[in-house]
Amino acid sequence: MTTGRPQGTGLLEVDGLTAGYGAAPVLHDVDLTVGAGRIVAVLGANGAGKTTLLRTISGLLPAAAGRITFDGVDLRGVKVERMVRHGIAHVPEGRGVVTELTVDENLRLGNLWRRRPKKRGGLDEIYDLFPALAGRKNHLGHQLSGGERQMLAIGRALAARPRLLLLDEPSLGLAPKLTAQILGLLRDLRDRTGLAVLLVEQNVRSALSIADEGVVLNLGRIAARERADKLAGDADLRHAYLGF
Amino acid sequence: MSTRDEQGLYIHHTTVRFGGLLALDDVSLRVPPGRVVGIIGPNGAGKTTLFNVICGFVVPQAGAITLDGRPLRPRPDHLYRHGIARTLQGVGQFGGMTVLENVQVGQRRRARPEEAYAALERCGVAEHAGEYPGSLPYAKRKRVELARALVARPRILLLDEPAGGLDAAEIGWLAELIRSARTTVLLVEHHMDLVMSVCDEILVLDFGKPIALGTPGEIRSDPKVAEAYLGAPA
Amino acid sequence: MDRFLYLTFDGLSRGAVYAAFALALVLIWRAARIVNFAQGAMAVATAYAGYSVADATGSYWLGFLVAVTGGLVLGAVVERVVMRFVDHSSPLNGVVVALGLVLIIQGVLGMIYGDGYRPAPAPFSRDAFEIGGIAILSRYDLFVFAAVGAVVVLLTLLFTRTATGLRMRAAAFAPDVSRLLGVPVGGMLTLGWALAAAVGSLAGMLVLPTELGLHPNAMDLLFVSAFTAAVVGGLDSPVGAVVGGLVVGLLLAYVGGYLGATVAPMAVLVLLVVVLLGRPDGLFARAKARTA
């Protein structure tokens, strides 16, 4: 692959990762680097291991082999609930809004990993980012539309002030305009705050439009790693792994 | 006998209110037999509500639906008699039944189990017939959901976001299935490539109001649609 | 009319205890989706400890404190040492383990304290004040109302106003998501059990002086009433538990007063069956999300 991996400069470094459910690994020997202030899109067919990759990085699944380091810290043995302290926030597939809690309570959860959560903990800033949520502070999660839930899940992750955001299929069930807004927001955050994003997205074109780099997973192995603009223009790769 | 004009599904000036919220505002749509009609619009525009009206889950405050010129007073449990089948957005399968049993629920009375199996085959999930839906990945469950709708050989197929969570190859397969279904299809979907490639006609809703109706080409170039729904390309 | 008033107040004061005990069941149900059938036995165990301390030191209040603190500890231990290792794929597993705990606790108490009733004196007079010639409430009844009221208020404040309360609710509703947000889900579960057991012990200390006294099986009947109260309230709703407790208390008082004491336990079972048949999700199921 043409882009040389910047050795040792990544915020997140994944080396030789093998992981999966039970005895059969889904991921085989995966190497990956996400630098600070970079958006890396993980692409590939369903079943390629994209979600498994995010779940292993955030500790929801154990790694069978390999190393994951974040800002120099070895994440092996770090419990899921400690990840957010290290600066990693994971918005899972299906959004994970707590439907029994209100919008405001959900957002406050983003802040609760601190021993002494700040009173409003910068939530006003999140409401500024997502004005649609500001009008619905006291609505319960299950009263929200799909788009609002996605905004809430992302807003809650941002409230944790992460340095790396793991984002699984943010466009699922969202109108194109809303998808574009959310992706645009990620690009702004990257530029303004240096947020790094590992983005799993089925909508390849949208994902590559904001990503710096694209990684193609095929049957659990890295099949290609390219600059996003090159990947978007590479018809052979698209045909081979992305189906269009 | 009904005239040619009345053939198919006809939604007349339908209005639905939930409390103070106007979910559908005077929506009309004619769907002749065999036509594939897309319904698009922002989240919360009333697309699913329109499906719920057709299925009888929601009773409109005003308006009527006719099927081949006759008024359709739908009840969810009588849908199959009218030849209407629907898939659900959130994949509503019975966890305690196998995949095959789930599809058999969608069958007409006295239908043979082989037909259910054939529907699974057509949707590419026959090898999972004996498994439980909960153990399948999301995209596979979507196919089971489609098989369950197709097994009744519906005249009208209502598809609610069938492409959500599918990858590009799977969406290609879905497009082929819709084109070859040879039934009337109403498609609610956010995946614009799919909508534009399979639909004969597209209705755009915004805050319950129809803001555009036309061919994919017309919709794509409609500034109102770009403003309300498509947005500027990212 | 006098009799009706008397029975009403009697029912409310009993109901307050059922409410507290039902609240303990609801707390664990919400946190872990287990009906803690060992709640009664655990409460009796801490009551024995409390009264032993009270006897030795002469201070009821020190004993009271020991009982409630003992509940806190016992709840945490039961969760950490036993319940955490139960396979929760079937709801029956937790029930069977809880029933096993009942046998163990009652057996151990029997070995230590014997099978006889021991006195469980009340800290306040149980003689009712008379207003207009009707015996209405005793000092002890007022103490019961105050204690249960304080528990309800404190729990409400904990769950709605504090970060820990929000963590506990999130951990119960969506453990995986909560973990990703840095909530120590296991710790919240332990805390839930500890709080519930403490509330159960408090209810035990409140009810024992009004019954025959301390005995390993002393809470068995109370458990049935409190369980009914929790089910009437919908198992998931703290408000439902309180209302359910008062309803069961009144029912027991009226049926016992007008139809005879032997019929009363039957009435509770009839109520349980009627609610399970008519509204299996409880009278407050709809409101659950809003009161959460």
Mean pLDDT of all residues belonging to chain B: 84
The angle, 0 to 180 degrees and rounded to 10, between the axes of the packed helices C2-32 and C220-233 is 80
Q: Which of B77, B27, B86 is nearest to B51 (CA)?
A: B86
Contact check, Cβ <8 Å, A60/C167: no
Contact check, Cβ <8 Å, A177/B169: no
Q: Furthest-apart CA pair in chain B: how many Å?
A: 52
Q: pLDDT per residue over B55-71, tens digit each?
A: 888 888 999 888 888 88
Q: Which DSSP category does B19 fall into?
A: T
Residues 6+ apart with CB under 8 A from B181: B150, B157
- Whether the CB of C183 is below 8 Å from some CB of chain A: the reply is yes
Asked whether the beta carbons of B154 and B183 are under 8 A apart, the reply is yes
Q: pLDDT per residue over C45-94, tens digit each?
A: 999 999 999 999 999 999 999 999 999 999 999 999 999 998 877 878 88
- Helical (H) or strand (E) element with C273: helix C264-278
Contact check, Cβ <8 Å, B42/A243: no
Q: Take residue B94 and report the two structure tokens written for it.
A: 């019975």
| Nearest residue, CB atoms, A85 vs list C167, C174, C182 | C182
Q: What is the pLDDT of residue B112?
A: 76
Residues 6+ apart with CB under 8 A from C275: C228, C231, C232, C282, C283
C176, closest residue in chain A (CA to CA)? A60
Q: Is residue B131 one of the residues assigned to a domain? A: yes
Query: By residue range, what is the domain housing residue B149?
Result: 92-153
CA distance A22 to chain C (A): 18
Contacts of B229 in chain A (CB under 8 A): 175-177
Question: What DSSP string runs through C229-266?
Answer: HHHHHTSS-HHHHHHHHHHHHHHHHHHHHHH-TTTHHH
Contact check, Cβ <8 Å, C182/A84: yes
Q: Is residue B5 one of the residues assigned to a domain? A: no
Mean pLDDT of all residues belonging to chain C: 89
- Whether the CB of C174 is below 8 Å from some CB of chain A: the reply is yes
Contacts of B161 in chain A (CB under 8 A): 173
Looking at per-residue confidence, does A151 or B107 come out higher? A151
Q: What is the pLDDT of residue B91?
A: 62
Q: pLDDT per residue over C218-271, tens digit each?
A: 998 889 999 999 999 888 888 899 999 999 999 999 999 999 888 888 899 999
| Nearest residue, CB atoms, B234 vs list A146, A174, A206 | A206
Q: Which of A50, A51, A177, A181 to mutate to test the interface with B (most CBs of B within 10 A)?
A: A177
Contacts of C290 in chain A (CB under 8 A): 140
Q: How far apart are CA C31 and CA C165, in angstroms?
A: 11
| Nearest residue, CB atoms, A108 vs list C166, C176, C184 | C166
CA distance A74 to chain B (A): 31
- Whether the CB of B192 is below 8 Å from some CB of chain A: the reply is yes
Q: Is residue B46 one of the residues assigned to a domain? A: no
Contact check, Cβ <8 Å, B42/A47: no
SS3 of residue B65 by DSSP = strand
CA torsion, points C227, C231, C237, C238, in degrees to nearest 10?
-30
Q: How many CA atoms does the CB half-sphere of B136 hold within 13 Å?
A: 24
| CA distance from start to end of chain B | 51
Residue type, A85: R
Chains B, A in contact, 3 or more Cβ pairs below 8 Å: yes
- Whether the CB of A219 is below 8 Å from some CB of chain B: the reply is no
Contacts of C185 in chain A (CB under 8 A): 81
Q: Which of A4, A75, A8, A77 is nearest to A36 (CA)?
A: A8
Phi/psi of residue C122, each to 5°?
Answer: -90, 150
Asked whether the beta carbons of C63 and C53 are under 8 A apart, the reply is yes
Q: Is residue B79 one of the residues assigned to a domain? A: no
CA distance B196 to chain A (A): 13
A162 to each of A84, A125, A156, A157, B210, how far by Cα in Å?
7, 14, 10, 7, 41
A contact chains, 3+ CB pairs < 8 A: B, C
Number of domains in chain B: 1
Question: What DSSP string runs through C33-94?
Answer: S---TTHHHHHHHHHHHHHHHHHHHS-HHHHHHHHHHHHHHHHHHIIIIIGGGS-TTSHHHH
Residue type, C242: V
Q: How far apart are CA A127 and CA A137, in angstroms?
A: 9
Contact check, Cβ <8 Å, A112/C181: yes
Q: How many beta carbons lie within 10 A of that of residue A118, not counting itself?
A: 9
Asked whether the beta carbons of A203 and A183 are under 8 A apart, the reply is no
At B74, is the pLDDT very low, low, confident or very high (cuts 50, 70, 90)? low
Looking at per-residue confidence, does C98 or C131 come out higher? C98
Q: Furthest-apart CA pair in chain C: how many Å?
A: 63
Q: How far apart are CA A27 and CA B178, in angstroms?
A: 33
Q: How many CA atoms does the CB half-sphere of B1 hold within 13 Å?
A: 2
Q: Is residue B58 one of the residues assigned to a domain? A: no
pLDDT > 80? residue B209: yes
Q: Which of B48, B190, B219 to mutate to test the interface with A (most CBs of A within 10 A)?
A: B190
Mode of pairing for the β-strands spanning A63-70 and A73-74: antiparallel
Taken as a whole, chain B contains a residue count of 234
- Whether the CB of C178 is below 8 Å from some CB of chain A: the reply is yes
pLDDT > 70? residue C96: yes
| Nearest residue, CB atoms, A243 vs list B164, B167, B229 | B167
Q: How far apart are CA B214 and CA B196, in angstroms?
A: 11
Q: How far apart are CA A159 and CA C57, in angstroms?
A: 52
Question: What DSSP string runs through A130-165?
Answer: -HHHHTTTTSBGGGS-HHHHHHHHHHHHHHT--SEE
Q: What is the pLDDT of residue A120?
A: 62
Contacts of C166 in chain A (CB under 8 A): 101, 105, 108-109, 112
Q: pLDDT per residue over C134-181, tens digit each?
A: 777 888 999 999 999 999 999 999 998 888 999 999 999 998 899 999
Determine the Cα angle at C155 with ends C150 and C158, to 5°.
125
Contact check, Cβ <8 Å, A175/B232: no
Using a pLDDT cut of 90, give the percent of chain C over it. 61
Contacts of A58 in chain C (CB under 8 A): 180
A184, closest residue in chain B (CA to CA)? B234
Q: pLDDT per residue over A184-243, tens digit each?
A: 999 999 999 999 999 999 888 889 999 999 999 999 999 989 899 888 888 877 777 776
| Nearest residue, CB atoms, A244 vs list B42, B44, B168 | B168
CA distance C139 to chain A (A): 40
pLDDT > 50? residue B21: yes
Buried b (16+ CB within 10 A) or exposed e, B159-181: bbbbbbbbbbebbbbbbebbeeb
Domains of chain A with CATH codes:
12-96+145-242 (3.40.50.300)
Q: How far apart are CA A72 and CA A63, in angstroms?
A: 18
In chain A, % helix, strand, coil (3-state, to 5) comes to: 35, 25, 35
Contacts of A160 in chain C (CB under 8 A): 181-182
- Whether the CB of C91 is below 8 Å from some CB of chain A: the reply is no
pLDDT > 90? residue B228: no
Contact check, Cβ <8 Å, A140/C181: no
Q: What is the pLDDT of residue A33?
A: 95
Sites in chain A below the pLDDT cut of 50: 1-8
Domains of chain C with CATH codes:
2-291 (1.10.3470)
Q: Take residue C208 and report the two structure tokens written for it.
A: 């024992």
Q: How far apart are CA B171 and CA B98, in angstroms?
A: 25
- The neighbouring-strand residues paired with A166 are A90, A198
Q: What is the pLDDT of residue C59?
A: 93
Contact check, Cβ <8 Å, A173/B234: no
